[in-house]
Chain A
Amino acid sequence: MQFFGVPFTVFGDESLQYLNTILGKRAFIVTDKNITKLGLADLVITELKKANIECKIFDGVEPDPSIETVVKAAGIAKDFKPDWVIGLGGGSSMDTAKSALVCYVAGIGPLDMSPSEFYNLRSKAKLMCIPTTSGTGSEATWAIVLTDVAGQRKVSLGSYETMPDVAILDPLMVMSMPPQITGDTGIDALCHAIEGYTATWRTKFTDGPGLAAIRLVFQNLKKAYDNGKDEDARKEMMYAAHQAGSCFSNGMPGLGHSTGHALGGIFHTPHGRAVGLFLPYTMEYLINGSEEAVGLFAEIARFCKIGAGDDKKCALALVDAVRKLAKSVGQPLSVKETGIKREDYMKSMPDLLDRSVNEMMTSTVTRVPESEDLEKMFTYAYDGKSVDF
């Protein structure tokens, strides 16, 4: 038995107008202060009011949202009793909205959520997500990433019930993204799609969105980064991120995510930057020991018209293209370039290893590394050395 889940997706210009057609009484909007300051929350509220829906905003979401933030949001939701919970923002806001919905309806703590429990979340509220970045793809996934602040650790949670009912992709919401966030989040989308396409949980249903997303990122990320007013590039990147979300949510991310999460949990490197940094190293690791991965990377390369020759040449050309794209959108190609001091990094190695070994994504790849190989990969990535083992 396998599943493939996606939300009902509204996309294109003026998609926010869909909000004035929905049925409901109270909408609880989960977002961050920057989104309210930019006026994006007001755009959402204006449309909801046309549908006579009362709105309440929680804009206390921080980057890498904590368990405490979710508990706070859920507490407000319990008092407000919404029939819609809306995540508005990047992955942090959308993931907080998903968790808050579970806590509000099921009356449990965020960490008590189990994918095998049925919470009947829709008995009280539906879930909608409206992204304001093009990378996380959280609006197309059931996945939730929270931060255990005390333990300096990212915690991956979720259930098929945390797949949003509705995702709204209105390009207007991403037009104000600054170049750095465009680069960070765009590389995250690329990582989702490449890892989802090559994961051991991949299915025939993840192939299509994965390939489409990768090609869209190669065609549009640099354009969106160089010129944020390029509406077509912004739109295509928004669609790419969404399709990449469908791919990895149903197929699982891989080593770039498990190593990137470990780095982000300890050094607070932004999510997209961290996972994107490790992506080419982990691809090389897979190429060096997994024929299956070589074949899959070659398929991607040929679909995107990257490289030529046999599978190995195409796979390595894809790695090279990933590095070139990342560099062109302001991404660090080594841990050293992020500004993390070597002594701090090496001192944290046991924690980096403990976190990455214990991430589910470490085991959903076609060559599963033990601690020794992970340590070498972390070390190579610090210096920017290509993985040769």
Chain B
Amino acid sequence: MAVFGTIEWVTAFMEAINASKAYEDAAKTWEGDFYFITEVGGAVKEQGYQYVDLWHGKCRKVDVVTEATKDKYKPEFVLQASIATWRKVAEKKVDPIQAIVTRQLKLTGNMGKVMRAVKAAQELVNCVTQVKTEYPE
């Protein structure tokens, strides 16, 4: 069990991605890295940045940085949400694309590129569900 937003969690996420044949097939042409940002609120006292580098169906690198060290990476995409929204996405209670459209999940980056990789995005969510997660209370 890993706490969402920690290096242990994002490392487990990388392992789940790299073990997924379905993700590998769906994202075989995908090139793009992300910041998954968790906003301040509730038990989250400082904005958290999980860095995930996705390349041709695999995850090449993950990291966790803070507000002070966020300039370490310049990812092509940023997805930002509250811990409650991340949890709903991870537990498949909300469709990630619907969350983006309703602005619960804020996306910065080329939307057209994301919309051409819907299947990969869905498989990525399936990978999240493979990670045994504890959410900060």
Q: Which residues of A contact B (CB under 8 A)?
A: 1-3, 110-118, 148, 153, 155-157, 160, 200-201, 357-360, 362-364
Contacts and interface: CB of A to CB of B under 8 A. Distances in A.
Given A2-B102, A358-B116, A363-B95, 4 more contacts: A113-B111, A114-B109, A358-B118, A362-B118
B115 interface: yes
B110 interface: yes
Contact of B110 (A3, A112, A118, A364): A112
12 contacts: A1-B104, A111-B111, A115-B100, A116-B100, A116-B107, A156-B115, A157-B111, A357-B118, A358-B116, A358-B119, A359-B118, A360-B118
Contacts of A111: 110-113
Contacts of A160: 101, 103
Q: Which of A2, A110, A116, A363 counts the most B-chain CB atoms under 10 A from its CB?
A: A116
A116 B110 contact: no
Nearest to B105: A116
Contacts of A114: 100, 106-109, 111
Contacts of B119: 357-358, 362
A250 to B, nearest CB: 10
Given A157-B111, A363-B95, A363-B122, A116 B106 contact: yes
Interface of B: 26, 95, 97-98, 100-113, 115-120, 122
B29 to A, nearest CB: 9
Given A157-B111, A363-B95, A363-B122, A115 B101 contact: yes
A200 B92 CA distance: 13
Contacts of B105: 116
Contacts of B117: 358
A148 B120 CA distance: 20
Nearest to A359: B118
A201 to B, nearest CB: 6
B80 to A, nearest CB: 8
A363 B94 CA distance: 12
